[in-house]
Chains A and B, each alone.
Chain A
């Protein structure tokens, strides 16, 4: 999925949303912070192009609704929720970048219900990587990416990260003898970079702070197989084919803190 593929995927999702809901009447797009918000904005722009109607876009920060807020090291940074429309009796399209365990979506549903009683809530995601822990499925999926628990999927967007790519990485965890902290070293497995620099839809090309990316704490899966074939077509463009039968060397030691996967 390069920039063009991402654009086409978003346009396809936009068409599917309009088709399923028989138009745009009563639709509100709500992006889950942080990368769901620019994706929702892009879908709204795509719908406006072929329908001629601008759909309201909101932003949801689910930090205060997380089920692990009491278990984590320090209070996470609280973002702003911005839903300026009355959502009662409206069709809400919840937008996120990656669907994984379903816990984030569960939190988002809880929060949305506090804002009113929507007629329906549908879910649109750019990447579905599987490994659900809650009975949640997406209504609109950009791409299904089979992954193992030892991998992370990162969607980078021009608006939030200053670059546009999807990164599939291996994680090798080891415990630090001094602090007892888990040190996650990432081994890049497949990188999909844009052919041309992705343009910011909103014109706000903010660079994300280093270290602000999501990390998955992994359970040690003793023996998994990996085969990764990558062909570099040019300096900027890479096509990566990955088979989910992978073999990774994962060394994990038990630490005091128990990890949560969302």
Chain B
């Protein structure tokens, strides 16, 4: 199985075999993170630009750590300290970065489709670290890796995604990835935060449920989403307190789920809004293992993308 892709823009155009290859590679990269010297020379000589037009803590640190673990050279760009403030366009910024002879651009942007646009004029590899409300493929991959670690497989498992589905790129990428891998997805949230035709998303669609208790009653895993106030032009619910009353995941809600149900959150968490304090810190929560797996998954993605050149070399193992 070969990856042979120039970019990673989303999971919708990946096959289940390609997703499995990324997850298998990430499993093996996780061992590297446990070594005394947590560094391998696989991407020595490869230059990666981290271009972040939006604030990020976990994703940016995770990508940067993954790049360093693979011995890549790194340059960082953030909107706040760049010429974007002076009016430079996205295209000009990327053209300039390309002119610096980078090999891979890891980009986060507030506009959905920014990466697709960039991939049409950039011949360097582009890895999507989040674009607007569209996709966050590496987050979905690390979520899948965390679930697969627990279960050994994703096929036939039931995952419930709760919260602000409309504004969530994490939800969309998770739906694409999980359904491709044979999992059954239920989405649950306030009607004001549920996009039209969400049931048709993914391979085979998803189940829509507005009742939180019903949504968790058969869930093998619950993925709780952050309320993204920064993406809301109008208030879609009366108050954070009311949201917590109706859709907040508390220990009482968890008690309705099957035994051994896993609790996930992509971070950053709003404790007391979408997740209760006791749930966030419970044994069922795999929020910190998700962060660890994030580094391994991003190492795998960068390694596979860097190897995605078209060449006709045969190899000799001896």
Judging by beta carbons under 8 Å apart, are A81 and B31 in contact? yes
Q: Assuming the A-B contacts A65-B41, A70-B306, A76-B307, are A180 and B318 also in contact, with contact meaning beta carbons closer than 8 angstroms in the complex? A: no
Judging by beta carbons under 8 Å apart, are B317 and A80 in contact? no
Q: Which residues of B contact A73 (CB under 8 A)?
A: 2, 4, 307, 309-313
**Per-position 1/0 for A58-74, Cβ under 8 A of B:** 00010111001111111
Judging by beta carbons under 8 Å apart, are B42 and A69 in contact? yes
Known: A114-B40, A214-B317, A217-B316. 18 other contacts (CB 8 A): A64-B41, A69-B42, A69-B307, A75-B308, A77-B21, A77-B24, A77-B25, A81-B28, A101-B318, A110-B41, A215-B314, A217-B313, A217-B314, A257-B313, A259-B313, A259-B314, A260-B316, A262-B318
- For the residues of B in contact with A, the DSSP-based class is loop
Interface residues of B (CB under 8 A from A): 1-4, 21, 24-25, 27-29, 31-32, 35-37, 39-42, 45-46, 70, 300, 303-304, 306-318
Judging by beta carbons under 8 Å apart, are A75 and B314 in contact? no
Q: List 5 A-B contacts (CB under 8 A).
A: A70-B45, A74-B309, A152-B316, A260-B316, A262-B317
Query: Is residue A256 within 8 Å, beta carbon to beta carbon, of the partner chain?
Result: yes
Q: State the 4 A-B residue pairs at the shortest beta-carbon distance, nearest first.
A: A75-B307, A100-B318, A214-B317, A64-B40
Judging by beta carbons under 8 Å apart, are A75 and B304 in contact? yes
Question: What's the Cα separation between A75 and B3 when bound, in Å?
Answer: 7
Query: Is residue A25 within 8 Å, beta carbon to beta carbon, of the partner chain?
Result: no
Q: How far is the CB of B279 from chain A (nearest CB, A)?
A: 33
Instruction: Report the tally of A-B residue pairs with Cβ distances under 8 A.
Output: 121
Q: Which residues of B contact A3 (CB under 8 A)?
A: none
**Per-position 1/0 for A162-201, Cβ under 8 A of B:** 0000000000000000011110100000000000000000
Interface residues of A (CB under 8 A from B): 61, 63-65, 68-82, 97-101, 104, 110-111, 114-116, 129, 152-153, 179-182, 184, 214-217, 255-262
Judging by beta carbons under 8 Å apart, are B28 and A116 in contact? no
Question: What's the Cα separation between A153 and B316 when bound, in Å?
Answer: 10
Q: Which residues of B contact A78 (CB under 8 A)?
A: 25, 28-29, 300, 303
Q: How far is the CB of A78 from chain B (nearest CB, A)?
A: 5
Judging by beta carbons under 8 Å apart, are B39 and A114 in contact? yes
Q: Assuming the A-B contacts A64-B32, A75-B306, A82-B31, are A262 and B315 also in contact, with contact meaning beta carbons closer than 8 angstroms in the complex? A: yes
Q: Which residues of B contact A257 (CB under 8 A)?
A: 311-313
